[in-house]
Structure 1
Amino acid sequence: MSIREKFQSDLDELKNSLLELGTLAEVAMIRAIDSLKHQDLEEAKRIITDDYKINELEKQINERAILLIMKQAPVASDLRRIVTVLKVSSDLERVGDLAVNIAKSVEHMGSTPFLKKIEDIPLMASLAQKMLANVLDAYYKEDTVLANTTAKLDDEIDELYGSLIQELLELMAVHPKSISQITQLAFICRYIERIADHATNISESTIYLVRGEQYRLNA
């Protein structure tokens, strides 16, 4: 195997590891929302415990990426691929952290019945999860069209976030004794909105990877 072939093989391995990290982050988010819907405190604890897998894989990816830069002194296009790996891995690790934050809010609320049916929050979460799945696909295929169109979903999530926060504020006035639960639900809405922001970041990184230019989507 030539030096170039070995370098390309290393880049491919990095890409595959990044997609594995993406799957772990996406699954963590799905599990966190399920634990919310079912008030599954044991599952919430498991999500928090399992976060080390995401953190460890991100660390491994970053170390391998930096080592490639140091050993190979890559040209501009190859360096862009490695820089993109570092940026995307950071966003995915943050998605994992946000899933943990959701699980911690579930733990904090405990088994006290919800004031209202939890429907709109999972709806917003499903849109964020769709964004995450699509941007990972866009990154893998280097599809700038998919990256761009997926980022537009962030506007819909922002609208849902705004309406949910308004509804929760109104509930506080009616149910002052349930402020703790309402506050945690507001936190969860914010965590989901942030996950969508990280998915948008990955869209921007994908466009940077392909075109070599920085783009701000939904600015």
Structure 2
Amino acid sequence: MEHLKSGWDLFLLPRTWHKRLNDSLVSLLPGILLVGFFDVLVYRTRSIFLDFIIGSPAAKAGKALLFILTVAAVGFLDVLCAAWPIADLCRFIARKNNKFIIPGFNIILMKSYAYSHLLFYPVLLIYNPTGLQMEKLLDRNINPATRIIIIVLYVWSLLQIAVQPAILLRTVGIKSKLDFSEKLLVAVVMFIWLNLEGQAIMFIIELAYKLFASLYGMP
């Protein structure tokens, strides 16, 4: 485990982790699957995993294969669409102002985005039937410790919208020589873009759900 030198290392990942990020495509692939699995499981309005994989006994092998392909496709689209345009913006600013930016920065930022999802995997506990679902807060007999855990996880899920861009911005700061004003511009664009891109990914997951429903029937 990385040595944490400050509180920022806990929330934004240690500087040494950011420094070790490279442009190897091989180590990006697991990150794509991590993102895809996270996206599909966190979308609980109509859950592919709960409704078609766990909740339905029919044609499990075929559905499992399609589920894996869906996870891979969603993860690839999310990582590519979230990080690549931001990386291009950083490279454009660096070239325009004669600032250093590390070669292979697009892949590096994609990795930063992908693996930053690991910090938020615990929030899946409140969006899936684990005994820590949000609905448990309505139960007056719930254990106080359980209630606190659910609330903490819910707050952490809300903070993802701010913490994840901050992680990416830390990667930008470590892998380039952009100055404060340039990074501030990147931060504003990143915040807006990631929110828009997130909505698009949710739409894609909704389409995937409809595909499962058309193939296997509504649960």
TM-score by length of 2: 0.32
TM-score by length of 1: 0.32
Higher helix residue share: 1
